[in-house]
Every structure is written in C-alpha cells, then in structure tokens.
Amino acid sequence: GAGVSQSPSNKVTEKGKDVELRCDPISGHTALYWYRQSLGQGLEFLIYFQGNSAPDKSGLPSDRFSAERTGGSVSTLTIQRTQQEDSAVYLCASSSQRGAETQYFGPGTRLLVL
C-alpha cells in the first residue's frame, strides 16, 4: 500500500512569505505527527494530531507556525512570514493509532527561505 506522501518535495520562498506544506498519511492511520529536521540536527517534534484534534502542540516554535487536519486525513502545516531560520526539512509521520509504536515517515518537504 501507499506510504506517507508529502508535497511539495521542495519549496523555495522569500523571507516574509507564507508557505503551506501538505501531508497525506497512510490510509486509516488516525495519528499524525509533524517534525522538523534542520541541517546537522536531529528531528524536532512540532505537533501531533489524533483525528482532527491536536492534543499536543508543544513543539511549535512560534505563533507563525500552525497546522490543521481535516477529515481525519490530510494535514497542512502553515508557516507565516517565513524567516531564514525556518529553512529545514519538514517531515510528516503517521501511526495506526495513538500510542502505536511505529511512526511511518514521509520523504519530507525541503524548505529554503531566501
């Protein structure tokens, strides 16, 4: 079956612009996660969704970052007024249910803010 897909695969934007990153989780997976991977750093947890609700937003770095999930499936991560330090790979993962051990990652969206 299809894995987690993300789009776009690459995004170049100018400082101050808004960007939207999309994640399609594995069909039937109720749990969805967003992580950020900066150069030379590990993955940094951003936000978790269970269904359409986000019980854990603790990792969002600032109020410029927001995310939503509609229909318990597709999720969008929005970064407003992008800054150069937002340049990173944004990874989405899904798991079959809350607390499931395996998180399946997508290939990521590489964001470059000029």
Residues near another protein (CB under 8 A): 4, 31, 33, 35, 40-46, 48, 50, 55-56, 58-59, 91, 93, 98-99, 101-108
Tell me the sheet residues that pair with 92: 34
Cβ 16 to another protein shortest distance, Å? 29
Residue with smaller CB distance to another protein, 82 or 108: 108
How far is 68 from 47, CA to CA, in rounded Å? 10
Write 65-72 long-range contacts (CB < 8 A, 24+): 67/34, 69/32, 72/30
Report in angstroms how near the CB of residue 12 gets to another protein at its nearest. Answer: 17
Q: How many CB atoms lie within 10 A of CB 53?
A: 10
CB of 41 to another protein, least distance (A): 6
